[in-house]
Structure 1
């Protein structure tokens, strides 16, 4: 589905990723784990086109999209939820979703489907997004991405800084999305248990390099924790 092959990328004259290879399976989840500063967010930014690799390729369904702009990748059914519960704070919950739904053939239906996944947002439809809790903003950010009906979803630490009562809801939703098929997910996540439950394959980044990779699942969780010393 999504292949990141021998990618070198960074900021200005500083290289952050050094020959990284990651593959996201079709209708499956690949989890990227690592400590802060390992290059996980940089990897997602390269995948979505916000950074252009100096070497290596990014392929989507076999097509080389390394030089494609972000909006071209979105038109190919890629969606990205960056770190930090990013929403339009001055707009209401409903307006945040409507902004994405407008002009899309399945805009209304996709919005209803996203709200079915996060039913608490329906009661908050008229509240400004800037007044939502961190967890509610993250739910809204994911719902807004899903309104685009992506085939591949990039999630950057979706449970970071969120109250425990909503972490479980977000985890369950992502697991449900992964289980129902039709969607591939590249997940950057600090919560090892959740990441390994969701993923068919995992990658550990350290100082911009993949130091180990393997299958996902509960059986591999202990080895990953030992590798990360968590």
Structure 2
């Protein structure tokens, strides 16, 4: 589904990613782990087209999208959920979802499907997003991305700063989504157990370089924890 080949990228004259290679399997999950400052968010921003790499390539279904603008990548089936439980705070929960659905074929049905995944959003449909808890806003951010019915979903630490009761729900939903035919996921995550349960492939980043990679699954958790402790 997605191939990141020898990508170097960063900000102004500061290089953050140094020749990174990552593959996201079709209908599967690849997870990227690493400490703060390792380059994980920079990698997702580069894949989404928010940062232009200085070298290397990004391929989606074999098409080179390295120079495409973010909206062109969205049109090809990509969706991005950045850190920070982002929403339109002065709009209601329902309005946040309908804003994304507006003009899309089957948009209202997609909103209903997203609310089915996160039932609390239906209960809070008329509440302003700015009054939601952090966990509820994160569920809204995930739902808003899913309204676009993406083929590739980029998730940047979806459980960060979320109350434990909601973390479990988000984890279950992401894992369920990863098993849905037609959806691939590139997941950046700090929680190793969740990341390994969800992923078919894992990559550990350190100072902008892949230092460890392999097949996911619970059997790889010890290997990943050891790689992160170095």
Please indicate the TM-score interval, normalised by the length of the shorter structure: over 0.9
Deviation at 1:182, TM superposition (A): 1.2
1:59 aligns with 2:59: yes
Q: What SS does the corresponding residue of 2:179 show, helix, strand or coil?
A: helix
For 1:212 and 1:226, the matched residues in 2 are separated by 10
For 2:205 and 2:55, the matched residues in 1 are separated by 18
Task: Give structure 1 regions of 4+ aligned residues with deviation exceeding 2 angstroms.
Answer: none
Deviation at 1:83, TM superposition (A): 0.5
Structure 2 equivalent of residue 170 of structure 1: 170
Structure 2 equivalent of residue 81 of structure 1: 81
Structure 1 equivalent of residue 136 of structure 2: 136
Structure 2 equivalent of residue 211 of structure 1: 211
Deviation at 1:229, TM superposition (A): 2.1
Deviation at 1:106, TM superposition (A): 1.3
Structure 2 equivalent of residue 93 of structure 1: 93
Deviation at 1:180, TM superposition (A): 2.1
For 2:133 and 2:209, the matched residues in 1 are separated by 35
Listed as ranges, the gaps of 5+ residues in structure 2 are: none
Structure 1 equivalent of residue 72 of structure 2: 72
Q: What SS does the corresponding residue of 1:58 show, helix, strand or coil?
A: strand
1:200 aligns with 2:200: yes
Structure 2 equivalent of residue 45 of structure 1: 45
TM-score if structure 2 supplies the norm length? 0.99
Instruction: Supply the RMSD in Å over aligned alpha carbons.
Output: 0.8
Listed as ranges, the gaps of 5+ residues in structure 1 are: none
Alignment of 1:144-183 (within 5 A): 144-183=144-183
Structure 1 equivalent of residue 187 of structure 2: 187
Deviation at 1:48, TM superposition (A): 0.3
Structure 2 equivalent of residue 104 of structure 1: 104
User: Number of aligned pairs?
Assistant: 230
Deviation at 1:159, TM superposition (A): 0.1
